[in-house]
Amino acid sequence: EADIYQTPRYLVIGTGKKITLECSQTMGHDKMYWYQQDPGMELHLIHYSYGVNSTEKGDLSSESTVSRIRTEHFPLTLESARPSHTSQYLCASSELGGGLYEQFFGPGTRLTVL
C-alpha cells in the first residue's frame, strides 16, 4: 500500500485567501505530481517534479505554484483563491519499476472557495 498523504482532506475558504495544500510521501520517490479533478471529469496534470529543486508545469494551466525543497514534500500554494479554483486536488508520486513509472495517489484534498 502506498504511503502518500494529503492534508487537509477538505477545505472551505473565502475568496482572496492564501492556501497551501500539503502532500508528503514516505517511499523515497523522486517523481511527484499534482492533478486537478472536477466531479465526473478526468484528471488533469497541473504540476510535476523530477526531484529536489525541480518543478514543471503540466498540461493544464493553473494559477497555483509548487515547491520541492525536500524529496518527501511537494506542497501546492494558491496565493489568492477564487471560486474557479474549487475542485479536487490529487497528489501522486512514482518510482521506476520494470522500466515503468507507476503512480501512487494520495486521498486528495477537496477545495471549495466561496
Partner 1 sequence: TQLLEQSPQFLSIQEGENLTVYCNSSSVFSSLQWYRQEPGEGPVLLVTVVTGGEVKKLKRLTFQFGDARKDSSLHITAAQPGDTGLYLCAGDSGGGADGLTFGKGTHLIIQP
Residues in the chain: 114
| Element holding 36 (H helix, E strand) | strand 31-37
Q: Which string of DSSP letters, residue by residue, matches 53-106?
A: T--EE-SS--S-EE--SBTTB--EEESS--GGG-EEEEEEEEEEETTEEEEEE-
110 belongs to the binding site for partner 1 (CB under 8 A): yes
* Pair 107, 25: CB distance under 8 Å: no
Which CB, 35 or 74, lies closer to partner 1?
Answer: 35
Q: Is 41 in the site for partner 1 (CB under 8 A)?
A: yes
Residue 92 touches partner 1, criterion: CB under 8 A? yes
Least distance from partner 1 to the Cβ atom of residue 55, Å: 13
Only one of the segments 12-20, 27-35, 69-77, 78-86 lies at the binding site for partner 1 (rule: CB under 8 A); that segment is 27-35
Q: Which residues bind partner 1 (CB under 8 A)?
A: 6, 9, 31, 33, 35, 40-45, 48, 50, 56, 58-59, 90-92, 94, 99-108, 110
